[in-house]
Amino acid sequence: MTKRQKRMAAIAALLLGLGLAAALGFTAFRKNMMYFYTPSDLLANAAPLGAKLRLGGLVERGSLRHGEGLRVDFTLADCEHRVPVHYEGILPDLFREGQGIVATGSLQPGGVFVADEVLAKHDENYMPPQVAQSLKGKNGQHSCAPFKPVTPGGAAS
């Protein structure tokens, strides 16, 4: 092997090793890389009461109720399950029924998720209002697809 071929082999081995290490590492820590859990995860694993976590899903249509002051109650749903959420604070502009959001908080006794922060999760679809109108009910509505359960048991149960 010439010197040049040796260097080529060394770089190939370096990239291969790095790729393998990254793949193994990320497989092992897959759950820790997730930004949020879904209602399915919450119900399937019965997350410890009071443990702080982020919950992502769609604000279910017809579930939003405004309480006193800045208090709101709504239901957060993925494709399978739903969890009631209580929040008091300022909502992002994009917050509305049918919109994807990520709420930070904890599950309280009684099964209500009490959030202390709500962020909007926008999806990747952009269109003018007329197009959105004509698509209503089909693609104009946000999909629950981005809210996949993190844990394998999440969807099955």
Partner 1 sequence: MWTWFHRLASPPTFYRLADRLVPWLGLLAAGLLGYGIFGGLLLAPADYQQGDAFRIIYVHVPAAALSLSVYVLMAAAGAVAVIWRIKLAECVLVAAAPIGASFTALALVTGMLWGKPMWGAYWVWDARLTSELILLFLYAGVIGLNQAIEEPRAAARACGLLALIGVINVPIVHYSVEWWNSLHQGSTILKLGRPNMSADMARPLYAALLGTYCFFGVALLRRVQNELLLRERGTAWVKEQLRSAHV
Interface contacts to partner 1, rule CB under 8 A: 4, 7-8, 11, 14-15, 18-19, 22, 26, 30, 33-36, 56, 90-94, 99, 102, 117-133, 140, 146-148, 150
Q: Is the Cβ of residue 42 or residue 102 nearer to partner 1 in the bound state? A: 102
Q: Is the Cβ of residue 38 or residue 75 nearer to partner 1 in the bound state? A: 38
CA distance readout (Å), 56 to 11, 38, 127, 155: 41, 5, 24, 14
- In the complex, the smallest distance separating the C-beta of residue 129 from partner 1, rounded to whole angstroms, is 4
- In the complex, the smallest distance separating the C-beta of residue 62 from partner 1, rounded to whole angstroms, is 19
- Give the residue among 50, 43, 153, 35 at the shortest CA–CA distance from 101: 35
Q: Is the Cβ of residue 27 or residue 68 nearer to partner 1 in the bound state? A: 27
Q: Is the Cβ of residue 109 or residue 138 nearer to partner 1 in the bound state? A: 138
- 13/33 Cα distance (integer angstroms): 27
- 112/85 Cα distance (integer angstroms): 6
- In the complex, the smallest distance separating the C-beta of residue 61 from partner 1, rounded to whole angstroms, is 15
Residues in the chain: 157
Concatenated DSSP letters of 51-110: -EEEEEEEEPTT--EE-STTEEEEEEE-SS-EEEEEEESPPPTT--TT-EEEEEEEEPTT
- In the complex, the smallest distance separating the C-beta of residue 110 from partner 1, rounded to whole angstroms, is 27
Q: Is the Cβ of residue 110 or residue 138 nearer to partner 1 in the bound state? A: 138
- In the complex, the smallest distance separating the C-beta of residue 152 from partner 1, rounded to whole angstroms, is 15
